[in-house]
A and B are shown apart, each in its own frame.
Chain A
Amino acid sequence: MSKQKDFVKFENVDKSYDGKVLVVKDLQLDIEEGEFVTMLGPSGSGKTTCLMMLAGFETPTNGEIYLGGKAISSIPPHKRGIGMVFQNYALFPHMTVYENLAFPLRVRKIPKDEADKKIDKALSMVSLQGFASRMPGQLSGGQQQRVAVARSLVFDPQLVLMDEPLGALDKNLRESMQYEIKHIHESIGVTVVYVTHDQSEALTMSNRIAVFNDGKVQQLSSPDELYEKPVNSFVAEFIGENNTFNGEVSDISGGKCKVKLSNAEIIANPISVKSKGEKTKVSLRPERALINPKDKMDNIHNGKIEEVIYHGDHTRVRINLLGNPEFILKVPNSSANLDIKLGNEIKIGWNSEDARALDPK
């Protein structure tokens, strides 16, 4: 059975709530069957609106959404057969866990013994066997979350939407839930569209990530590509940590460019710059810069250590480098022999490949 490439398809979708501002602008998005796609973006970027349009609680102002090749704009939410996990779980507080899970099966008129089997399966999937008779109020946040996930899956939907489902959990629980959801996705192969503003969540769980900003998808690619190769400075800054240099392209040739800063010149990888004289923002991941590099690197500069912050597994070092006082380096704590002390001058190097010259925004 071949997987449908455009199982979910947003085609030229616009959305406006007040007729003045477009919350979603000309959205194009294809999601493959069985894929885990995350919509990531700051609040107000339109990601939740997209999810709500997909679920059927909002209608697109323009354009069409297709699910399995069928236009769904005119189908009401309860006929779309899409599972959904809500931000605050939205468990029915007056029903037991069992009744919550039975709800979608009962409205589908599935016989009781079959429904019981499905509920057992769904509960064991989230390791909550034995909790069926509890009320949601008697469960911890993490358990409620699992029930919500189980409920969204119990009627075997082809597509599950998750709207910041882990937002209310504490950090440890959130991380373990991330893995759990990821494993569930892998084991049953359901298509998941996941909305979050937490980038680490997005990077851990997704097959592909759509970074939203200002009603538009800025970049849609796999987590590693998104992190390693951001296509614009918004993505570069939104995902992970980022050191930036603002400057002007002074030379561009052979896949490399020279960028003139206020008091120096660096060599960078031209991504969004095309010609000499263009303003640019050069982006460099903290872990790509090395202290006292042994390999030959085409950028080597001296900087002064301004601040040293101990982080357990690594140390963050803030360096005043080439006029940027906010240059961050991550030093693994195994390299304790390095002479990292406040006020020391150190040598820092990186490859021009990793310094991406992006739009100046």
Chain B
Amino acid sequence: MSSETKQILTTDGIPLEVSLKKAERKNKIKAFLLVAPLLFFLIITYVFPIGDMLFRSVDDKMVTQMLPKTFKAMENWDGQELPEEEVFAAFHEDFIKLVEDKREGKLSTQLNYTKNGFKSIIKKLRRKSKTFEEGNYKEQIMSVHKRWADVEYWRAIKRRAPEFTSQKYLKGMDMYVNEEGKIVSVEEDRRIHRVLWLRTLEIAFFVTVFCFLMAYPIAHLLATLPMKYSNLLMICVLLPFWTSLLVRTASWMILLQQQGIVNDFFVGIGLVADDNRPEMMYNKTGSYVAMTQILLPFMVLPLYSVMKTISPSLMRAGKSLGGTPFVAFWKVYFPLTIPGIGAGCLLVFILAIGYYITPALVGGASGTLISNQIAFHMKSTLDWSFASAMGLMLLSGVLVIYWLYNKIVGIDNIKLG
């Protein structure tokens, strides 16, 4: 059987496909020109900086470029014993160059990330190197400090040879590459990131659950009330949405603090003793309360838009066929709202997992999330590559959730309003 298909020609004898492309080209160009400014803007302000930041998280060229000769000489070193004179000589040469450029400080910072203790011995080496004589650098360097005679430190230098590294990602998981080149976890009392990741997931999960429990009845009311009332209710839902996030968070601080309105009220009705006011802020409770309130509209709106499309006659049909109101709800109404539930939960969860300002203000030490840690490294330690590594881990976490959702519920089942 021949798979050859006959080419269809237009009346002018031009193949139909060619003719069609020609006719549509103008429209395509027009459409492209219309979106071009936005595309350009996005590339410059979004794709490029984010790409750059993500690249930073694996980029480790700095040391590679600072010690080119050393790494070349180290290529044949097996890492078992102290390296040969040749390596020391190359290191000396690289180091002198760095000192001339006044870049040895950066080297010490970088090497210190890999192994503590480099800072002081590099400072010392710089001082002593001025008096070095030519030849036998191994002896001279080793005499500067006993750590220079320790093979561990030379192994640490060698680990910085590759241009790319995954160590920032490992650090984000509280892991590192040890002296033998194996990936191991840090000591238990020094693990901070895993706790934060778990707490972030936990808070995001419960905030999603709370939002769902509160939003479902509200959305149902919105969808079923007569226009007159539902509009008013809608405004009540949206009003906080239109208020600045900072203002809302600050109001929660006023409400929740120990001498705040909520506590005053509890004391007033005799629920708690005046000298035993519960702490509702600067801990997880604060994060839960404020984030739930702030993210609530993101759950209400998709639910509402789905419920609006469910004909009231379906519930009636369910009841007239003999289902109790609960059965009619559970078997008929609820399954039909699943696209809205999926959209709302996904939206709230993803927003919550990367939430920053609110936990920073009301979360205290036990209520902060991974995003606060990222911000900390961006602003305070200036370890941008670590911050972007954690950012990427967060992003991949979100993508995994998205993928899981697509697998389980199906993304075409989603309805965002």
Set of chain A residues within 8 Å of B327, measured between Cβ atoms:
78, 107
Set of chain B residues within 8 Å of A84, measured between Cβ atoms:
316-317, 320-321
Q: How far is the CA of A94 from the CA of B327 in the complex (A)?
A: 15
Chain A, 153-188, CB within 8 A of any chain B CB: 155, 161
Contact A155 B320 (CB under 8 A): no
Chain B, 318-333, CB within 8 A of any chain A CB: 318-325, 327-328, 331-332
Contact B322 A107 (CB under 8 A): yes
Q: Tell me, yes or no, whether B37 is within 8 Å of chain A by CB.
A: no
Chain B residues near A (Cβ < 8 Å): 311, 313-314, 316-325, 327-328, 331-332, 335-336
Q: A55-B316, A92-B331, A104-B322 are in contact. List 7 more A-B contacts (CB 8 A).
A: A76-B319, A78-B320, A78-B324, A86-B317, A91-B317, A92-B318, A108-B322
Among B314, B320, B323, the one with the most A-chain Cβ atoms within 10 Å of its Cβ is B320
Set of chain A residues within 8 Å of B328, measured between Cβ atoms:
78
Across the interface, A90 reaches (CB within 8 A) one of B314, B322, B331, namely: B314
Chain A residues near B (Cβ < 8 Å): 55-57, 76-84, 86-88, 90-94, 103-104, 107-108, 151-152, 155, 161
Rounded to whole Å, the gap between the CB of A83 and the closest CB of chain B is 7
Contact B313 A87 (CB under 8 A): yes
Q: How far is the CA of A78 from the CA of B321 in the complex (A)?
A: 6
Contact B318 A103 (CB under 8 A): yes
| In the complex, residue of chain B having the shortest beta-carbon distance to the beta carbon of A82 | B320
Q: How far is the CA of A152 from the CA of B320 in the complex (A)?
A: 9
28 sample A-B contacts, Cβ–Cβ < 8 Å, listed by A number: A56-B319, A76-B319, A76-B325, A77-B320, A78-B321, A78-B322, A78-B323, A78-B324, A78-B325, A79-B322, A81-B322, A83-B320, A83-B321, A84-B321, A86-B317, A88-B313, A92-B317, A92-B318, A92-B332, A93-B336, A94-B335, A103-B321, A104-B323, A107-B321, A107-B322, A107-B323, A108-B322, A155-B321
Contact B321 A104 (CB under 8 A): yes
Contact A92 B320 (CB under 8 A): no
| In the complex, residue of chain A having the shortest beta-carbon distance to the beta carbon of B335 | A94
Known: A78-B325, A78-B328, A86-B313. A94 touches B336 (CB 8 A): yes
Contact A86 B321 (CB under 8 A): no
Set of chain A residues within 8 Å of B323, measured between Cβ atoms:
78, 103-104, 107
Rounded to whole Å, the gap between the CB of A125 and the closest CB of chain B is 17
Set of chain A residues within 8 Å of B320, measured between Cβ atoms:
55-57, 77-78, 80, 82-84, 161
